[in-house]
Structure formats: structure tokens, C-alpha cells
């Protein structure tokens, strides 16, 4: 039976209960070294009986090994990072490693703080979103002496390794597809987030590719807070009332794009004939909407997976030859809202 004593049990308790030395108990519990089958079962059953739970704090200190991987992301509330986490989990499940998540709310200072907190637990590796960090954060990553993978974005120089897509290129590709389909009067809607560097880079790539063909964005609007779907509706309505000449709307994420799509349908406006639409992300959630929004897959699952693989591989063999710059290529899906050519 388990007892409800105040003090958690220690190896010593198990040792005393079995008459086996602490050392051997430790060996049994960790499956390390040879232990006779007899003592092994004795120890195991005693540990179970007593309800012994090992103290990883002490173990980590003594062995100087912490099987934790810090995963630092900006947000949990838009489905893209949870999906990255799923990818990370999938890979780490097959190892001794365990992810620990920290959230920064897109604030550099908070990122710095979260990173500091996490590093103080001496994790075995760090997976962190983005390539932009405070100088102090970069310094910490540099001197931590553990594998570091920066994820999501590859437009920049990583501290160590990076896995992601080029958001600049993603913006460019979408612009090209839109122009190729014949649209010329383009509006843009996105989040009001100066610190979302990836959205910024997509936007830059987008305008750059348009400019190359002599096209400029004719209207734009940014939002913050609230339900993205509703905001998409509102912004789309406002923009079309203001700029009725527009024939294409590019949204910085699929949720507001979906809101726009629903609005246009309500209005009986023909999509993609009269107006074309595109978003970004490939949100699976939206499958099932009356019409499929054109979008671009951000490879979130693969990013998480690959990042975890790099960490795991590097810990397994620090001298292994590992590809440290992984750029995935997002695929564009035309859906029902962007004419094909």
C-alpha cells in the first residue's frame, strides 16, 4: 500500500525496505548495469508497493543530465504552435527527452525572461521560434553549450541550427500566383503586430514581388484582438466599401481570410471571378467551409518534427554531421478562391 506520509520517499527508504544498498536500488530503477534477477524483482516490487517516485531533481544534479528540451513559442492561441508542438512531441516520444513549453506572447523581453528561466533548469536543448531575439537572449543561447534550433523562419542567420520556411519567399510566391491569375487591384489585411517578424517578412516579399510587375497594394488594414473570423468579415466589408475597385484580397492568416470569404458569399459576390482571395497557413480547421480558401501550407508539423530530430541527433552524437539549415518549401493550394492559370 502507498502511505500518505508527508515526506516523499527516497531511495534510502526503498533500500531499507529491501535490505539492498541504495546503489543497487538505483541501478535497478534505472535499468543500468547488471543486477541479479532476484534483487531486481525484490526492489521493483518494493518500490511499487511503497509508491516510490524517483527524484529527478537529485538525479539530474548528480548525473549532470537533464532530459528536458525547452520549446519557446510566441503563443498557444492560434493553432499554429500547438501543431508545431505536436510534431516535436511525436519525435521526442521515442527518446528519453521531454519538451517543456514556454510562451512569450510575441514580446522580446518576455522571451528573454522565459529563456533565462528555462536555461536555469539546464535543459539538454532549446527549440525557439524565430530568428529575432534580444542581444541578451542570443548571448544566452550562444553560451548555453547545448543544441539550439530556431524554427519557423529561415530568412536570417541562426545562432546554431534553423528549420523553417522562407516567409519572404512565401509572400513572393503568392504574389506571383495572384498576378499570374490576372488580378491587379490588390488589398491586404493582417494583424497589427509589429513583432510578428514572419508576418512582416511575408508582407515584404509580397509587396516586393508585386512591385517587380509594377503593381502596388491599393488598400490595407490591420487588426488586433477579437475573433479572427469576425474581424475578417468586418475588415473585408470596410475595405470593399472604401475601395470597390479591388479584385483581390490577401489575408495574413486563414482565419480572417475565411471571415472575408463568408462575407463575400453573404453579399453574393462571385469568388474567384469578381474577387479573388488568399490566406496563409493551411489551417485544417477550415476544411469544411463552403468553399476552400487559397492558402499556403506553413509545414508546421514538419518543422516541429525536424527540429526535434536535430536536437535528438545532436545529443546522441555531438560530432555527427547534421544539416543545420533546413528550409522547407511551402506548397500553395489554390482552393476555390484563386483562379488557376
Partner DNA sequence: GTGAAAGCGCTAACAG
Partner DNA sequence: CTGTTAGCGCTTTCAC
The Cα 203–Cα 232 span in angstroms is 17
**One symbol per residue from 37 to 56: x for binding DNA (CB under 7 A), - otherwise; what is it?**
-xxx-------------xx-
Binding mask 62-81 for DNA (x = CB under 7 A): xxxx----------------
Q: Which does 11 bind (CB under 5 to 8 A by kind): DNA, its own copies, none?
A: DNA
To DNA, the closest distance from the beta carbon of 93 in angstroms equals 21
DSSP letters spanning 94-115: TSS-EEEEEE-TT-HHHHHHHH
CA 245 to chain CA centroid, Å, is: 37
Residues 6 or more apart in contact with residue 148 via CB below 8 angstroms: 125, 126, 127, 128, 141, 158, 159, 160, 161
State the virtual CA torsion across 36, 41, 46, 51 in degrees, nearest 10: 120
Q: Which does 51 bind (CB under 5 to 8 A by kind): DNA, its own copies, none?
A: its own copies
Q: x-or-dash pattern for DNA, window 220-259, by CB under 7 A?
A: ----------------------------------------
Considering the complex, state which of residue 214 and residue 290 has its C-beta at the smaller distance from its own copies: 290
Closest C-alpha among 196, 153, 182, 169 to residue 326: 153
**Which residue bears the cell 530568428?**
131
d(CA 277, CA 173): 14
Q: Which is nearer to its own copies, 116 or 323 (CB)?
A: 116
Compute the least distance from the CB of residue 310 to DNA, in Å.
Answer: 24
Q: Is 316 in the site for DNA (CB under 7 A)?
A: no
Interacting residue with DNA among 2, 5, 12, 267 (CB under 7 A): 12
215 binds, options DNA, its own copies, none, Cβ within 5 to 8 A by partner type: none
- Number of chain residues interacting with DNA (CB under 7 A): 31
- Is 32 a residue that touches DNA (CB under 7 A)? yes
DSSP 227-260: -HHHHHHHHHHHHHHH-TT--EEEESSHHHHHHH
Other C-beta atoms closer than 10 Å to the C-beta of 301 total 16
Q: What's the closest the beta carbon of residue 265 comes to its own copies, in angstroms?
A: 8
Question: Which residues make up the interface to its own copies (CB under 8 A)?
Answer: 2-8, 51, 53-58, 60-61, 66, 76-77, 79, 82-83, 85-86, 89, 98, 100-101, 103, 116-117, 119-122, 139-140, 142-145, 226-233, 255, 259, 262, 266, 284-290
Binds DNA (CB under 7 A): choice among 10, 67, 243, 327: 10
CA-CA distance, 315 to 332, in Å (whole number)? 35
Longest dimension (CA), the chain: 86
Amino acid at each position: 500500500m502507498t502511505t500518505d506520509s508527508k515526506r516523499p520517499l527516497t531511495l534510502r527508504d526503498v533500500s531499507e525496505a529491501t535490505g539492498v544498498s541504495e546503489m543497487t536500488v538505483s541501478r535497478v530503477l534505472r535499468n543500468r548495469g547488471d543486477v541479479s534477477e532476484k534483487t531486481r524483482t525484490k526492489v521493483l516490487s518494493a518500490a511499487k508497493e511503497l509508491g516510490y517516485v524517483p527524484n529527478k531533481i537529485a538525479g539530474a544534479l548528480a548525473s549532470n543530465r537533464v532530459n528536458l528540451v525547452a520549446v519557446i513559442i510566441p503563443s498557444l492561441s492560434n493553432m499554429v504552435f500547438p501543431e508545431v508542438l505536436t510534431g516535436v512531441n511525436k519525435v521526442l516520444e521515442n527518446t528519453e527527452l521531454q519538451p517543456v513549453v514556454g510562451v512569450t506572447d510575441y514580446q522580446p523581453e518576455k522571451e528573454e525572461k522565459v529563456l533565462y528561466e528555462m536555461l536555469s533548469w539546464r535543459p539538454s536543448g532549446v527549440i525557439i521560434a524565430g530568428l529575432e531575439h534580444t542581444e541578451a537572449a542570443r548571448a544566452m543561447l550562444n553560451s548555453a553549450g547545448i543544441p539550439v534550433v530556431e524554427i519557423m523562419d529561415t530568412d536570417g542567420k541562426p545562432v546554431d541550427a534553423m528549420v523553417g520556411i522562407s516567409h519572404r519567399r512565401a509572400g513572393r510566391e503568392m504574389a506571383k500566383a495572384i498576378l499570374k491569375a490576372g488580378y491587379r487591384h490588390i488589398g491586404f489585411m493582417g494583424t497589427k503586430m509589429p513583432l510578428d517578424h514572419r508576418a512582416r517578412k511575408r508582407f515584404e516579399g509580397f509587396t516586393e514581388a508585386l512591385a517587380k510587375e509594377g503593381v502596388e497594394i491599393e488598400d490595407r488594414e490591420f487588426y488586433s484582438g477579437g475573433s479572427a473570423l469576425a474581424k475578417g468579415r468586418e475588415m473585408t466589408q470596410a475595405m470593399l466599401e472604401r475601395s470597390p475597385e479591388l479584385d483581390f484580397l490577401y489575408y495574413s492568416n486563414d482565419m480572417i481570410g475565411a471571415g472575408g470569404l463568408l462575407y463575400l458569399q453573404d453579399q453574393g459576390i462571385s469568388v474567384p471571378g469578381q474577387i479573388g482571395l488568399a490566406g496563409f497557413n493551411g489551417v485544417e480547421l477550415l476544411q469544411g467551409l463552403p468553399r476552400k480558401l487559397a492558402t499556403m501550407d506553413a509545414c508546421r508539423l514538419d518543422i516541429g518534427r525536424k527540429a526535434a530530430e536535430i536536437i535528438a541527433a545532436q545529443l546522441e552524437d555531438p560530432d555527427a554531421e547534421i544539416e543545420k539549415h533546413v528550409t522547407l518549401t511551402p506548397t500553395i493550394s489554390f482552393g476555390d478562391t484563386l483562379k488557376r492559370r
